[in-house]
Structure 1
Amino acid sequence: MAILTVFTPAYNRAHTLSRTYQSLKEQNCKDFVWLIVDDGSTDNTAEIVKKWQDEESGFDIQYVYKENGGMHTAHNTAYENIHTELNVCIDSDDMMAKDGVEKILTAWENVRNKGYAGLIALDADFEGNIIGKRFPEAMKETTLGGYYASGGKGDKKLIYRTDVIKSVPAYPVFKGEKYTGLSYKYIVVDQQYKLFVLNEVVCNVEYQEDGSSNTMYLQYLKNPNGFAFMRRVNLMYPTSKKRLLMECIHYCSSSQIAHNRNYIKESPRKALTILCTPLGWCLTAYIRRKARMER
C-alpha cells in the first residue's frame, strides 16, 4: 500500500493539469496515489483524467467530482478520500519537483516514529528559485506559525500525517460563500505538534493571474463569514500583540459585513472586540470603497 497521497484540487484547469501529471510521471519513485478533486469544473478535466487513468503511469490515479464550493471544500473532500499515512497538496497549476516523492518518503522514513505531524519543505518557481528563503541550517523542526514568527518568508510545502490533519474538524462551509482559510487546520495542528524540516525543494509553483488575491476586497464582501471564522481562530492563537489587534479589527469588519449581531458574544477576546468595533466600521467602509474599484 502506498504511503503518500498527492492530492490536487482542480477547477477548470485542464490546460495546466497536464504538467502536474507529467511531473508525477517523471518521478523516480512511484509509491504514491494521485487524487484529483474536481471542484465542479465545466471544461474537459474529467475527460483528460479518464485518459490518464487508462495509461500506464506507474501510480494509481483517483478522481472525485463534486459541486463547486471553493478550495476549502475540495480539501474537505480530499481528506474524506485519503487513506495513506501521508498527504500533500500539489495545486493544479504546479509540478512535483524532480525526485520530490523520493525526498518526502526518505525523510519521513527517518522520523516517522518521532511524533511529528509531518514535514515542511521548500517550494520553488519554475526556474528553480526558492519561494521566500531556505530554512536556517540549524532549524531541524518547527511549527508553521513558529517559522513565520521567527522571520521565515515565502510559501512552504506541507506534508501532513493523514491521521493528524483529519483529527481537526473539517473546514466549515457557509451558505453562499466559497472561502474558508486553509490555515485553520494548520494553526490547530501547530498547538500540539511540530513539523520536521526538509530543506529540499519538493514542488515547483506558478501563481495564476486569475487567482483570488487579485480581487481580495471583493472576496471580503462575498465571503464575510469565512473570513470572520478565520479571524476568530487567529484571535485564539495570536502570534504577536500587533497581529492580535489587526485580527480583531478584521474580525469586527467581517462580522459587520456578515450582519452578525452576536460577534462580540462569539469572540474569544470580547473586551478587545468592543474596543475595536469602531475601527472595524472604518475598515468596512475602506473595503467597500476598494471593492468598487475591483469590479
Structure 2
Amino acid sequence: MFPLISPASGAAGATQRLPTISVVTATYNARAFIDRLHGSLSEQTLHDFEWVVVDDFSTDDTVDYLKTLPSPGTGGMRLYRLPGNSGGGLAVATGVAKATGEAVVIIDHDDELFPDALRSVAENWHLIRKDASLAGLFFRIVDPASDSMIGAPLAPGTRFSLSWMSNCRADIHDGSFALKAEDAKRHFAPEVMENVCLFGAPLTEMSQDKTFLVADAGPLRFYHRDNPSSQTNSVKVSRKVVYSYARLLDLADRWYLRQPMRWLRHTLALIRFSMFVHRNPFHHLRHMKRSLPKLLSLLLTPAGVASSLLGRKPRLVDFPVLPIPSLRSLPDLRSSPATVTAGVDTRDEAHLP
C-alpha cells in the first residue's frame, strides 16, 4: 500500500476560494445530546455551511425537536428520517447523498466541534482541492475527559492510508476527516453503506487508491463517550458487522503484517460472527474477493467454530433491508413550515482574510 510521505512544503496564495461545506449527522434517540452538537455548530467562526441531518428512525422526540432548531449555518439545515432503523451507516450514506457541498464533514450526534473547526477545513482545503490522489483532510480529536488530544501527533502534510494508520499508529485510533464530495458519495453511497456499520471499511476502501492528508490545524472535535447507546459503548453483532469485518479483512495489505495477532483475532471473530448471525462459518467469504484472505479464513475455520461453541454468545440485532431508491426521494421534514434561520453574520466569505 502507500508509504509514509514526508510533509509537504510551500505556502498557499494570499487568497483561496473557500469550499462549500456540508456537515452530515446521523441521529438516533439523540434528544439528550443534540444540543451539544447544535450549539457547537452555531458557534462556528465560519458560518457558510449546510447541516444535513438524517434520523435513523428514532423512538424518542428527536425529530420533533430537530424541526424546531434554528439553522446553525447560512447554508441552511435539512432533516430527513429513514423508514426503519439502519444501525447508522445508511443514515450517514443518505446524508452524504443529499449533501451539496464540495467538502463533506461527518459528525456524530453526540460529539461537538471546536469553534474554528469548519474554518480549519476551509483554510486547508487548497492543499487537496486539485490533487486527485488525495481523498480528504485528517484532523486530530480531543478526549474531553482529559482535555488532551488522542494519540501522538502526525506532522502536517503527512499522507497516509487508513490501513497504515490502523496498523502502524494504533495510538491514533480515531480522528475526523473532511472528505472530497465526489469520493464520499462513491464510497459512502447508500448501495454500499446498506451493509456497513463500521466506517473504517469505506475509509479503508477509499484509501486503496488515494491517501488522506494531515491538516495544518488544531483538533476538529471533542470525542465524547457519554452516550450509552453509541456503537463504542453498546457492542452489537449483526449482518452488517459480518459484512464490515469481511471487507476489512479482504482489504488487508502489507501494513497488516505489523500486527499479525490483531488480524488473527479479527479473523476468528469474523468466523464466530458468521456462525452466530448466519449459522454458517463460511458466510462471510461471499463478501471477500481476494484469495489470500479467504485461504487464511478457511484455515482458521475450525478454531473459529470451536470458539463460537465455547465462548459467550454476543448480543445479536437485526436491521431491516431498506429500499435504497426510496431514500433518494425522502422529504425534507423542515421544508414546511419554513425553516427557522439563525441570526448569524451573513457577510461575504468568498475569500480568506
1:270 corresponds to 2:288: no
Correspondence for 1:122 among 140, 146, 156: 140
Aligned counterparts of 2:72 and 2:155: Cα–Cα separation in 1: 40
Are the aligned partners of 1:27 and 1:99 in contact in 2 as well (CA < 8 Å)? yes
Are the aligned partners of 2:38 and 2:72 in contact in 1 as well (CA < 8 Å)? no
Correspondence for 2:108 among 91, 96, 107: 91
1:234 corresponds to 2:248: yes
Distance 1:283 1:211, change over 3 A: farther
1:70 corresponds to 2:87: yes
The answer for the alignment partner of 1:60 in structure 2 is 76
Aligned counterparts of 2:129 and 2:264: Cα–Cα separation in 1: 38
Aligned counterparts of 1:24 and 1:92: Cα–Cα separation in 2: 11
Alpha-carbon offset, residue 193 of structure 1 = 0.7
Amino acid at match of 2:283: Y
Correspondence for 1:28 among 20, 35, 45: 45
Aligned counterparts of 1:56 and 1:250: Cα–Cα separation in 2: 42
Specify every segment of 5 or more residues in structure 2 that has no aligned partner in the other structure, as ranges. 1-17, 317-353
**Secondary structure of 1:201's aligned partner:** coil
Alignment of 1:198-237 (within 5 A): 198=215, 199-207=217-225, 208-216=227-235, 219-220=236-237, 223=238, 225-237=239-251
Alpha-carbon offset, residue 255 of structure 1 = 1.7
Alpha-carbon offset, residue 192 of structure 1 = 0.8
1:166 corresponds to 2:185: yes
> RMSD over aligned Cα, in angstroms?
2.6
**Secondary structure of 2:148's aligned partner:** coil
Amino acid at match of 1:247: H
Correspondence for 2:29 among 12, 27, 42: 12
Alpha-carbon offset, residue 212 of structure 1 = 3.7
Are the aligned partners of 2:151 and 2:173 in contact in 1 as well (CA < 8 Å)? yes
Amino acid at match of 1:274: L
Structure scoring higher RCO (CA < 8 A, sep ≥ 6) equals 2
Number of aligned residue pairs: give it.
282
Distance 1:91 1:14, change over 3 A: same
Correspondence for 1:133 among 139, 151, 156: 151
Alpha-carbon offset, residue 171 of structure 1 = 3.4
Are the aligned partners of 2:41 and 2:113 in contact in 1 as well (CA < 8 Å)? yes
The answer for the alignment partner of 2:334 in structure 1 is none
Distance 1:61 1:2, change over 3 A: farther
**Secondary structure of 1:34's aligned partner:** strand
**Secondary structure of 1:106's aligned partner:** helix
Aligned counterparts of 1:276 and 1:91: Cα–Cα separation in 2: 36
TM-score by length of structure 1 reads 0.85
Alpha-carbon offset, residue 132 of structure 1 = 2.1
Amino acid at match of 1:280: G
The answer for the alignment partner of 2:66 in structure 1 is 49
Distance 1:65 1:121, change over 3 A: same
TM-score by length of structure 2 reads 0.72
Specify every segment of 5 or more residues in structure 1 that has no aligned partner in the other structure, as ranges. none
Percent identity of equivalent pairs: 20
The answer for the alignment partner of 2:341 in structure 1 is none
Aligned counterparts of 1:286 and 1:75: Cα–Cα separation in 2: 36
Are the aligned partners of 1:23 and 1:98 in contact in 2 as well (CA < 8 Å)? yes
Distance 1:255 1:164, change over 3 A: same
User: Which one has a larger percent strand, Structure 1 or Structure 2?
Assistant: 1
Q: What do residues 11-66 of structure 1 show as CA deviations (whole Å, max 9, x unaligned)?
A: 1112211121111111111121111111112322223222224x685441111111
